[in-house]
Amino acid sequence: MIAKQLSIFLENKKGRFTEVARILGDAGINMTAFTVSENSDFGILRLIVSDTEEAIRVLRDKLYGVSVTDVVCLRCPNVAGSLAKAMEIITANGIFVEYMYAFSEGETANVVIRPDNLEKCIQVLQDNKVELLGASDLYKL
C-alpha cells in the first residue's frame, strides 16, 4: 500500500515547471497527481508518476535535485464528510500529517498523504476499512 512520490527541487525561475513537464512527457511518463510547496526562493514539486524509476533517471540526467518519499493514497467517495471521517481516524491515532494533496475523478476522490508514521497510518486506515489505493493502481490513474 506504500506508494512512491517524487520531490523535485525547483528554483523560483520562469519556465522550470514547463521544463519538468516536457522532460516527463518526452519520456512517456504520465503524471497522476502533483502539488507544489513554495517560498520566496524555491519550490518543491511533489508528484506521483506512472514510472517512478524512469522519471528519476531522466530527471537526474537533466541534473534535477530529486528525492523519493513513501506516501499512502486513500480513496473515498466524492461526497461531503467522507474525508473528514478518514482524517478523524488518523488524528485519533496520534498520527501527524506533514502534507497531503487530493484529486477527484467523478464519484471517487483520491488523497495522497505523507504522515509522520507511515506504517501505523496504513494499519489504522486498514483496520477501519478505509480503502487504500495500491501503488500499481495509483500509477495507472
Partner 1 sequence: MMWNEMIETMSRADMHKLQSHRLKRVVEHAYHNSTFYRRKMQEMDITPDDIQSIDDIVKLPFTVKQDLRDNYPFGLMASPMSEIVRLHASSGTTGKPIVVGYTRKDLSMWSEVVARCLCAYGATKNDIAQISYGYGLFTGGLGAHSGMEALGGTVIPISSGNTEKQIQLMHDFGANILCCTPSYALYLAETIHASDIPLEEFKLRIGVFGAEPWTENMRKELEEKLNIKAYDIYGLTEICGPGVGGECECQNGTHLWEDHFFPEIVDPVTLQPVAPGEQGELVFTTLTKEGMPMLRYRTRDLTSLNYEKCACGRTTVRMGRILGRSDDMLIIRGVNVFPSQVESVILELPEFEPHYFIVVDRVNNTDTFQVQVELRPEFYSDGMNKMLALKKKIAARMQSVIGIQPDIKIVEPRSIERSMGKAKHVQDNRKLY
Nearest to partner 1 of 98, 105 (CB atom): 98
- What letters, b where the CB count within 10 A reaches 16 and e where it falls short, cover 30-44? ebbbbbeeeeeeebb
- Is residue 91 a contact point for partner 1 (CB under 8 A)? no
d(CA 64, CA 114): 22
Residue 53 makes contact with partner 1 by CB under 8 A: no
Q: Which CB sits closer to partner 1, 98 or 119?
A: 98
CB of residue 116 to partner 1, shortest distance in Å: 11
Among 51, 41, 42, CA closest to 4: 51
Q: How many distinct helices (H) and strands (E) make up the chain?
A: 5, 7
E strand or H helix that includes residue 5: strand 2-11
State whether residue 85 is helix, strand or coil. Answer: helix
* Binding-site member from 23, 27, 44, 83 for partner 1 (CB under 8 A): 44
Smallest gap from Cβ 16 to partner 1, in A, equals 8
Q: By CB under 8 A, tell whether 10 contacts partner 1.
A: yes
Nearer to partner 1, 10 or 27 (CB): 10
How much is the CA Rg of the chain, to the nearest whole Å? 16
* Binder of partner 1 out of 2, 22, 57, 65 (CB under 8 A): 65
Residue of 35, 56, 52 lying closest to 44 (CA atoms): 35
Closer by beta carbon to partner 1, 61 or else 119: 61
- Binding region for partner 1 (CB under 8 A): 5, 7, 9-11, 37, 39, 41-42, 44, 46, 60, 63-67, 69, 98, 114
